[in-house]
Amino acid sequence: MSEDVFRWAITIGVGLSSLMTIAMAGAMFGVYRTSKRIEEKANPLIEKAGPIVDKARSIVDTAEPKIRDIMDKAQEMTVTMKEQVTKLDVLVTETSDRARLQLDRIEVVVDDTVTRVQETTAAVQGTILKPVREVNGVVSGLRAALSTLARRNRASVDHATQDEEMFI
Average pLDDT, rounded, for the chain: 86
109 vs 107: CA distance, rounded Å: 5
Longest dimension (CA), the chain: 180
The DSSP call for residue 168 is -
Question: Which pTM was predicted?
Answer: 0.38
What does the alpha-carbon distance between residue 88 and residue 94 come to, in Å, rounded to a whole number?
A: 10
The CA distance from 86 to 78, in Å, is 12
- pLDDT, tens digit, 9 for 90 and up, residues 131-164: 888 888 888 888 888 887 777 655 555 555 555 5
Residue 157, CA atoms < 13 Å, CB-side half-sphere: 0
Q: Is a pLDDT exceeding 60 seen at residue 78? A: yes
Question: For 42-55, how does the pLDDT look when each residue is reduced to its tens digit (9 = 90+)?
Answer: 888 888 888 888 88
pLDDT at 85 over 70: yes
Q: Which amino acid would we find at residue 99?
A: A
Average pLDDT over residues 14-38: 94
Please report, rounded to a whole number, the percentage of residues in the chain having pLDDT higher than 90.
49
What pLDDT score was predicted for residue 150? 76
Q: How far is CA 158 from CA 74, 152, 162, 167, in A?
A: 119, 17, 6, 14
Kindly state the average pLDDT of the residues 74-94.
94
Beta strands in 32-116 (DSSP E): none
Give the dihedral of Cα atoms 138, 141, 142, 144; nearest 10 deg: 160
Compute the CA torsion angle 45, 50, 53, 54 (nearest 10 deg). Answer: -160
